[in-house]
Chains A and B, each alone.
Chain A
Amino acid sequence: MAATIIQENTTAFNTVDVDPITLDIIENALKNARFEMDATLFRTAMSPGIREQGDAFPLIADKGGLMLAGQFGSFIQGFLNGYDGTIEEGDIFWLSDPYTCEGAVSHANDWLVLLAIFKERRHVGWSAMFGHMTDVGGMVPGSLPTNAITIFQEGIRIPPVKLYRKGVRQEDLLKVVLHQCRMPEWAGADLNAIVAACRMAERRVVEMCDRFGSDTYISATLKLLDRNRRAMAQLIATSVGEEKVSFEDYVCDDGRGFGPYKIKCTMWREGDKVILDWEGTDPQSESSINFYLNENMLKMFFGIYMIMVFDPQILFNDGFYDLVEVRIPEGSLLKPRFPAALSCRTHALGRIFDVLGALLGQRQPEFLNAAGFSSSPHLMYSGYDSQGEWFQLFQIGFGGIPGRPFGDGPDGHSLWPGFTNVPNEFLEAYFPLRIERYETIADSGGAGLNRGGNGISIHYHFLQDGTISIHDDRWFTYPWGVHGGNPGMRSTKTLVRKDGEREVLPSKCDDISVRIGDVLIYNTWGGGGWGNPLDRDAELVAREVRQGLVSPQGARNYGVVLDVENDVDEAATRDLRAVMQENIKTSQIFNSGPSLEELRERCLAETGLPAPIQPVWN
């Protein structure tokens, strides 16, 4: 099965020499075009998830489908392998089923739009973008059912189809799909916005072909890919060793009471090639925490983590793909078999970044960051407002950026590019909600020479009866610290009923009924600390106590004793630090807190929730 690209003009492109300056200019122009895609999207999309929080990702690819500008690597090849029809000028494709595109998108909420770019009836490249729809139907509002056991419960699945056929929009198709969504206006507008963004990129690529000549443009794209490849080859040779390093981390539970699920990766180099082998990762889950991981996307994540500190201005592309080999066991959490449920893949997606960071950092400790807010927790709240109109909120939360060699982790920020919070005054104006408290949680960032960022506490006061869903993680295992830094605090969710009764809610849950006057306390987790907290400037610790970022008790994690005025008690601090320094036993790189066994034993007492049951596979 393979797609056929139909070009009316099949003249081959000539390979021409491109001087380095022209090359840099084309690189810049591609970068600008990508930003124009984002700008178009944000200004015209309607769902808060896309337009306020930026949950959408652009791509400009070369003729061969490799990413020239974008963030998540190219998903063109997966589409080409999964689509067996023709691709013509004026066609615009649309899909959302991860199983039909090799995981180009990883759950059905992400709608992917792509189009082939033609110049003088010759194919010169691709533009594409996917964005997260607030709702695509299925068993729960928001279409991210924690306890789904097949993808058929997760809303409409769109295989690769033509949304536009030679420039004509397929209205019936659109009507059928939007009819499945609980928020059809948002989905329709967001889809429009994504199409407009792709067309913007198309125009820019055609203009570049006009300006420089198509031959030069095509040759330049090849050179850009090659430039990245050379840079990465050098980086790989110097920073990845031939001996194997491994790291494992966990998704705490699957929302059905089982967990934790292990994600393990081993990295080594063979010649100029890096192997990332996910052998040892647990088998797929029965519920929806599976992450259908696209190998190319993983290569991109890996590459960006490698290069970020060396030439941040670079326009990162796919040129180095053959230097990285990714092995993912079939039937594992990261490559589940159809029709496994996929909707809540965000936790595994996030954890992969912690694992990659840890793998690279073991070889180059000076670049090692602690574990962070490597997920995007969600809250869904829906129901009928006082006018009888359906409302549906999908909100992404934020937390602590990890402690880093570059400094403290910011409090309550996003690790995902372009994500922002939704202004609370906006929420209160458009949803039956009041945000009573919006602050970061003192001491939740792990202590360290560089402190981990604090998690956020949001108090949602519900003003209408409705239903909520929660997706979060790291409530059972800790975000680890490094180089002597402490782990960050774990996440918690508490529902305070109007009558004052408090209920601890699981980290992942659906269909929780809330009533007018109930308050949900949604606490996210903090980032791990970096470096020995006893080395942190005591005055800075005291200042952070006055700022409310660290509590007086929390200051003791840094060996800092304060007086009643919250000024440093220097003598007591010296003594306490000396004692604490004595007690530091080993100098291990990672500190994830207690062992899994201990965590299980203390789970109910510490979290108010039963420990997850170890899953067993045949």
Chain B
Amino acid sequence: MEYRLGVDVGGTFTDLLLIEEDTGRTYRSKVPSTPADPSQAVLMGTQKICDMAGISASDLSFFMHGTTVATNAVLERKYARVGLVVTDGYRQILQVARSLVPGGLASWIIWQKPETLAPLECTIEIPERLDAQGHIIRELDEDNLRRQLETLKKEKVEAVTVCLINSFANNAHEQRVGKIIREEMPDIPVSLSSDILPEKQEYERALTTVANSAVRPTVARYVQNLRNELRAQNMTGQINLLRSDGGLMSSEKSEELPVALLMSGPAGGVSGALWIAGHAGYNNLLTLDMGGTSTDVSLIENGTARVTRDTVVGDLTVRTSSLDIKTVGAGGGSIAHVPELTGALRVGPESAGAVPGPACYGSGGDKPTVTDANVVLGYLPASLLGGEMKLDVAAARKAVQTIADALDISLMAAAAGIIDIVNENMFGALRIVSVQQGYDPRDFALIGFGGGGPLQANAIGKLTQSWPVIIPPGPGVLCAYGDATTRMRAEAAQSLSSRLDNADGQQIEEILETMAGDVSRQLVEQGVPVLEQEVQFEAGVRYQGQGFEVVMPFTREGFAKTGLDQLAEAFHAEHEKLFTFRLEAPIELVNLRVTVLGKRANVKAIKIVRGNGDPREAQMGVTPVWMDGEEKQAKLYDREKLRAGDKITGPAIITEMDSTTLILSGHVADVDRFGNILINPCA
């Protein structure tokens, strides 16, 4: 029997999901996270879940892992000390950045510029130069390089990055520099920008490569630890990590390319949503993953999540592929406040975090948070959480009252206002991934998960008019589902600058052939045989002169003959869809990208028992809630006891181990055969 284990490390809990491949039978487990060394919880949880299933670690064929180790290193600025080697004249490449001060007019008055990712005193510039076509203008001065490396040694750098001007066109100098550094500093990992991101734009390429170096030691240490421990338990199967783009890579590859892990955590949620909603028959989805401090949203079309070229974590934006996930600083812990000057109600981006947390947690927090507002409104009944955690309703009311006083409105109106504002913030993020990309959210279902998603999803569905609103079973461990069910992935890109009308289709096809071969070999090295591989092609295309390209998927078959024309026509159409117009201007082919995927996991979703449509068996009672400006009685249900076919009319609250689902009045929820709750407006 083949077993797949998905492990998602969150801030508070590490979630595990074990899948028996043939039957689709699953085991779920949760252990407290161990932030000091996250691998401890992973190993503990692995042991626990194997025991539950009566197997040992050596029975695991696949160990798949979404991790926030790289993400947290960025958010907490726990970076390795990175040395940077640049072309003469460019020492301050990271200091100047793109010269942008974020925000509106006069925002420079209060902007704090973050420290550069590679310290300026650890940046050296070396004599060498290529032109834009990759011709050598100035030979590399190797002696000079060796001399200057002494500075990096003296500064005790822990990793080195090389980013030379125009190296995207010719990597010869970077290769040579890398070799010399390895000779001079044999214990220090070296990242070359022409390996990590062979694309035009020196700042983005440098920053992305430096980011790779900066998180590399932390990630490598973690991954090696984990692998050693698992191997010590005779686990001989594949150990893979989830990339930001929703694919998997081997643990060894992730040590070289940790920058591809920055969105590993949220990517698990989107992958999980894909898998579970796909089984339920929904292939067009908006995802809403609401946690304590932030919420991640994304769009899935035809069973595929959109991929973007920029990955944003905190104040760092790097150029790596990631699922197009927008993060808003709005979560259960987001604090509501009313600036005295304007008297407006603001929610977030400040968060009460896990400590002290919302006022209702009784851990010393006294600021009104979104969770407190939910408690005041009765959406999170205190009595329901049993022994797990007692919610302090009085403290929540006291905190929210400060908002009511500042706005001179009732307590309930203030609480409802906080919820409305936070929903609006999430709506704004959902618009960015949908409307702004030319999609109508009414053509999509909305899937809510994470700790807070099931509470807010119905209300947000009303704003986006995305029906049904889907609450999957185990919404708190959906990421682990994603980790366990997604596929291996590798990709390569190449910058071009050719006009479509005079491009040589034959030549491009040859380039594609070479790239596909390279990427395919990478996956073979990671244990995916060629026969199981699926190859995809994309081109970055724009009207000549534009600064942003539109990514167009295409097929390679017959490309030399008609591919270029088809690409041109598809681009015109896509441009019109996105921006309402098309131009007569020549079209430019900016880059090519090849993605190779492993085979899909053959994991079946498990079905639940069918009931008679009446959820009475699962009802636990009624509880008062404030909804639509008045107090109402909501029915309370235990999700464990719901059966397929059950129908629940709002207002209602459905509870389970890791989350609470709210169904608003005027809405009805159906339980499908996989245990999903599908919420729709009443007819």
Contact = CB atoms under 8 A, between A and B. Distances in A.
A401 interface: yes
A308 B107 contact: yes
B342 interface: yes
A536 interface: no
- Judged by DSSP, the binding face of B is loop
Most A-side CB within 10 Å, residue of B88, B96, B409, B431:
B96
B417 interface: yes
Contacts of B129: 434, 436
Contact of A189 (B204, B343, B545): B545
B101 A547 contact: no
B98 to A, nearest CB: 4
Contact of A425 (B96, B132, B546): B132
B511 interface: no
Contact of A413 (B99, B112, B165, B497): B99
In the complex, which of the residues B88, B105, B129, B131 has the most CB atoms of chain A within 10 Å of its own CB atom? B105
Given A21-B417, A406-B112, A411-B95, A425 B200 contact: yes
Given A426-B201, A437-B89, A549 B120 contact: yes
B18 to A, nearest CB: 42
A407 interface: yes
Chain A interface: which size bin?
A: 35 or more
A314 B201 contact: no
B428 interface: yes
Contacts of B428: 28-29, 32
Given A440-B96, A459-B89, A196 B581 contact: yes
Best-buried of B200, B339, B341, B581 by chain A (most CB within 10 Å): B341
Interface string A258-287: 000000000000000000000000000000
Contacts, number: 232
A335 interface: no
A403 to B, nearest CB: 12
A411 B99 CA distance: 8
B101 A410 contact: yes
Interface in A386-406: 398, 401, 404, 406
B98 A420 contact: yes
Contacts of B346: 24, 313
Contacts of B341: 231, 234-235, 307, 310-311
Given A425-B202, A438-B89, A548-B120, A196 B580 contact: yes
Nearest to B203: A423
A197 to B, nearest CB: 9
Interface string B73-115: 0000000000000001111110111111101111111111100
B516 to A, nearest CB: 26
Nearest to A199: B580
A418 interface: yes
A231 B108 contact: no
A189 B99 contact: no
A369 B110 CA distance: 10
A29 B201 CA distance: 33
Contacts of B580: 196, 199
B424 A28 contact: yes
B431 A32 contact: yes
A186 B497 CA distance: 18
A428 B575 CA distance: 27
Contact of B409 (A20, A25, A192): A20
B549 to A, nearest CB: 9
A320 to B, nearest CB: 12
Contacts of B344: 20, 23-24, 27, 227, 311, 313-314
Nearest to B138: A436
A546 to B, nearest CB: 4
Contact of B108 (A29, A413, A426): A413
A421 interface: yes
Contacts of B424: 24-25, 28-29
B275 interface: no
Contacts of A428: 131-132, 166
Contact of A192 (B165, B202, B413, B581): B581
B603 interface: no
A595 B101 CA distance: 33
Nearest to A409: B108
A484 interface: no
16 contacts: A20-B344, A21-B416, A21-B421, A28-B425, A40-B579, A43-B547, A45-B546, A185-B545, A234-B341, A307-B341, A367-B109, A423-B203, A424-B202, A429-B497, A434-B137, A438-B90
Pairs of residues from A and B, 6 with the lowest C-beta to C-beta distance, nearest first: A46-B545, A437-B89, A547-B120, A51-B547, A21-B417, A412-B96
Interface of A: 19-21, 23-25, 27-29, 32, 36, 39-40, 42-48, 51-52, 71-72, 185-186, 189, 192-193, 195-196, 199, 227-228, 230-231, 234-235, 301, 304-305, 307-314, 316, 367, 369, 372, 398, 401, 404, 406-407, 410-421, 423-426, 428-429, 434-440, 456, 459, 543, 546-549
